[in-house]
Amino acid sequence: MLRLNICFSPIFLLFVYCMKSSSSSAGAAIGVGISKNCPNDHSDLSYFESAPKPCFKNPTTMELIKSLNQTSSTRQQGSSSSSSESDCTVWTKECSEQLLWLAKQPESVKWIKSVRRKIHQNPELAFEEYETSRLIREELEKMEISYRFPLATTGIRAMIGTGGPPFVAIRADMDALPIQEAVEWEYKSKNAGKMHACGHDAHVAMLIGAAKILKAREKYLKGTVILIFQPAEEAGNGAKRMIGDGAIEDVEAIFGLHVSHLHRSGIIGSRPGPLLAGCGFFRATISGKEGQAGNPHHSVDPVLAASAIVISLQNIVSREANPLDCQVVSVTSFNAGEDLDSIPDTVILQGTFRAFSNTSFYQILARINQVITEQARVFRCSATVELFENEDRIYPPTVNEEQMHEHVKKVSIDLLGPQNFMLAEPVMGAEDFSFYNQVIPSAFFFIGIKNETLGSIHTGHSPHFMIDEDILPIGAATHAAIAERYLYDRKL
C-alpha cells in the first residue's frame, strides 16, 4: 500500500497538482495502457482491496531512478562495488551489481513481497485471472510502462526500452490451482478451493520487480524488453494462446523461470537441451458384451481385455524405448463398475505419458493408440482412444537452446557468483513454456526456494506448498539482468 505522507506539503500544493493532472488529456489505442491521471470515480476497485490511487507517480520506481542517477557522494548505503554508477557502455561486474543493488533496496523488497501476498490471497484459475491481471496493469501504469491487453483473455504484453529491435522477452504465468490451502499464515488464500500451490504468484511478483528495475535503467537498454504475463499454464495451454494473439511478435529470444523446492533458496539452476518432459494424457473406452459373471462364455469380457492392455502399455517403455531415453507411460485409472456379479459392457482406462524429446513423445502417443485398439481386438472387444490433442492437454518437452542456456549461466554467475548457479537435473514435470521454444530460441531455468527452517520444502501442487520470499528480489534481478545483458550482447 502506498503511503500518502510522501506527497509534498502543504495540502494546497497537492490540490493544485491534482487539478493540473486531471485537466491533462490522456489517450491511448484500445488495449494499450498508459499512466492514468487521478481518477474521480473509485467504484472500479477490485477485491484486492485497492486504495484510490493518490495523485503522484509510484514512489518506489522514482526512488530507484533517482538512486541510480545519484553520484557516489549522495547514494545511500549499498554494496561497495555499487557505490558509483557505470553507464555500462562496457559491461562489467559492476553493471550486474547495480541491478542486484536496486532489487535489494528495503522499499523494493517490501513492495515486491506485498505484490506477491496480494496475489496469493486472491488466487484465480486458468483464464479467470481478471483481478490478478488488473493488479499487474495498475502496477505497470504506476511505472508508466505501456502494454497491450487483453491477450488470451487475461494476458498482458508490456514493453520497456527503445521501442525498436532487438526484442527479447521474459515471461511469468499467473494462474492458480483448484487446491484448498493447508498452510496457516497471515496471507492464506481467501478463495475456498483455490491456491497458488505452484509459485505463479511469485513468478508474477518477480517479473513486476524486474519491470521496475528495467524501467529505472531504461536509458541503458540497447533495444526492447517484452514482459509477458501469461494465463493458464496449469490448464489450457495459455502459452499457445498468447503466441496466437501476438505476444512474441518480433521477439527473437525468450526466457522464463520457475520456483523449485529441489534447490536451495537463491540458487539458479538450468541445463542445455531437455529440461522438462513433454506431457500427454489418454482415456480409452474398452467395449465388450455384458453378461453374468457365472456364465462368462455368454459375454465378451472388457475387463480381461483392459487388463491385458495395461500390461501391454508397460512394454512400450520397457521393450521399445532406448534405456538411455527417459520415458513414462502410467495407467492411473481403471473403472469397470461396481457390480460384483456381472461382467460390464465397458471399461474405462485413463493415464499419462512423458518423454524428453519430441520424437519420443509423439512416438509414444501413436503407440498408445495402437496398443489399446489392437489389444482390445485380441479379446473380441473394441476400443476408442482419446488423446486430447485438440483440447490443449498436450505439452511438448521444454528444451533449452544451448546458446540461450549459456546466456542464463553467464548472467547468473556474474550476478550471484558461481556458487549460486548449478547444472539442474531434468525433471519429469511439464511446462507450457515449451510452446515458446518451439517458435523462437529460449531458455527456462529454476530458482531455488528450499528452506527447511521456514518449511519451504513441499513440492508444487501440494496444499502445504510455500516459498521462501527472500528469493523474490533475487529472481527480479536475475530476470532484469538476463534481459538487459541479452540486448547488450546482441548489439556488440
**Cell numbers representing residue 76 in the block:** 545511500
**Band of pLDDT at residue 64, cut at 50, 70 and 90:** low
Measured in whole angstroms, the distance separating CA 50 from the mean position of its chain's CA atoms is 24
Q: Which long-range contacts (CB under 8 A, 24 or more apart) does 136-142 make?
A: 136/174, 136/204, 136/208, 136/229, 137/33, 138/50, 138/53, 139/58, 139/115, 139/208, 139/211, 140/33, 140/208, 140/211, 141/33, 141/34, 141/35, 141/36, 142/35, 142/53, 142/57, 142/58, 142/61
* Ordered DSSP codes for 454-491: TTBTPPTT-TT----GGGHHHHHHHHHHHHHHHHHHHH
Per-residue pLDDT at 15 exceeds 70: no
Among 44-58, 73-87, 119-133, name the most confident range.
119-133
Residues 6+ apart with CB under 8 A from 178: 125, 193, 194
As a whole number of angstroms, the distance between CA 379 and CA 376 comes to 6
Give the H/E segment covering residue 118: helix 106-121
What is the predicted pLDDT for the residue at 46? 39
**Cell numbers representing residue 96 in the block:** 550486474
Q: How many residues in the chain?
A: 492
Report how far apart, in Å, the C-alpha atoms of 397 and of each of 38, 202, 260, 275, 432 are.
Answer: 47, 23, 18, 8, 9
What is the predicted pLDDT for the residue at 68? 56
pTM: 0.84
Tell me the residue ranges of DSSP E strands in 174-218: none
Of the candidates 489, 491, 407, 482, the residue with the CA atom closest to the CA atom of residue 225: 482
Per-residue pLDDT at 121 exceeds 90: yes
**Band of pLDDT at residue 65, cut at 50, 70 and 90:** low
On average, the pLDDT of the chain sits at 87
Measured in whole angstroms, the distance separating CA 168 from the mean position of its chain's CA atoms is 17
As beta bridge partners, residue 352 has: 281, 330
Convert the pLDDT of each residue in 145-203 to its tens digit: 999 999 999 999 999 999 999 999 999 999 999 999 999 999 999 999 999 999 999 99
Convert the pLDDT of each residue in 248-266 to its tens digit: 999 999 999 999 999 999 9
Q: Give the number of other Cβ atoms within 10 Å of residue 428's Cβ.
A: 14
Report how far apart, in Å, the C-alpha atoms of 312 and of each of 300, 362, 368, 387, 428 are.
Answer: 19, 18, 9, 18, 22
Domains of the chain: 58-276+397-491 (3.40.630.10), 278-386 (3.30.70.360)
Q: Are strands 224-230 and 382-386 parallel, antiparallel or unpaired?
A: unpaired
Residues 6+ apart with CB under 8 A from 430: 276, 277, 278, 279, 354, 395, 397, 398
Helices of type H across 44-92: 59-69
What is the predicted pLDDT for the residue at 35? 37
What is the predicted pLDDT for the residue at 235? 86
Sign of CA dihedral 365, 371, 377, 382: negative
Q: Is 383 left (phi over 0), alpha (psi -120 to 50) or beta?
A: beta
